[in-house]
Amino acid sequence: MARVSQAHLDARRRQILDAASLCFARNGFHATSMQDVLKEADLSAGAVYRYFSGKEELIAAIVTETMAEVREAFQEATRQTPTQLPDTLVTSVLGRTLASRGGVLPDGGPAFPRLVLQVWSEIPRNPELADLLRENYDGVRRAWSDVVRLYQASGTMRADAEPDHVARTMIAAVLGFILQQALFGPTDIEVLRDGLRALMSVTDTDTGTEAGADAD
């Protein structure tokens, strides 16, 4: 029997995850059956169950894979000199994530934002998924905090800023942008970049200092 290459196995796994992502985004987690996933992937039950035992494993794999990509993107940023400023870095990472999850729904909207919304709605009913998401969120938060410390070391950001507070705020901006796309339709990533850039430029007109900075 011919040996199946790792590249083939990886491609098949990707095919299944992409099909499941589209199904979950289109119909919701509970309204999607494994038969729906099989049909979307155009694979037999045996081919799919070789990789995943059911919907719970599929959604866990999607969450883990996506968050790992986000963490890696921020970790890669810490190895670059100079480090990209927040407006560029955030939109670069989010744009990379959206591009890698580029499925399109029948109405023309991107699948990924609606998939994120489905995952959030499942958390109150699924403690295991909640724990998984919290663990991955903490990883992204730590990665962002590392970037903040790089800003501080280079003098780009105030030394008294709390890295974790900045990390949580930037994550909130990204999640809010994704939520807007899920609820109101596609928006160019440049909108988030330009908004962050404008906020970064705010100064106190009375003192000439940056907003939030203590005046001498």
**pLDDT, tens only, 155-203:** 999 999 999 999 999 999 999 999 999 899 888 999 999 999 999 998 8
Model confidence over 59-98: pLDDT tens digits? 899 888 888 888 888 778 778 788 889 999 999 888 888 8
Burial label for 4, CB within 10 Å (0-12, 13-18, 19+), is exposed
Tell me which residue of 17, 80, 84 sits closest to 52, measured CA to CA: 17
Instruction: Report whether pLDDT(209) > 60.
Output: no
Tell me which residue of 146, 121, 104 sits closest to 31, measured CA to CA: 121
Query: What are 110's strand-pairing partners?
Result: 104
Provide the whole-model pTM: 0.81
Contact 15, 103 (CB under 8 A): no
d(CA 125, CA 201): 42
d(CA 7, CA 18): 16
- Element at 142 (helix H, strand E): helix 127-154
d(CA 125, CA 170): 27
Instruction: Please provide residue 109's backbone torsions phi and psi, each rounded to the nearest 5 degrees.
Output: -80, 155
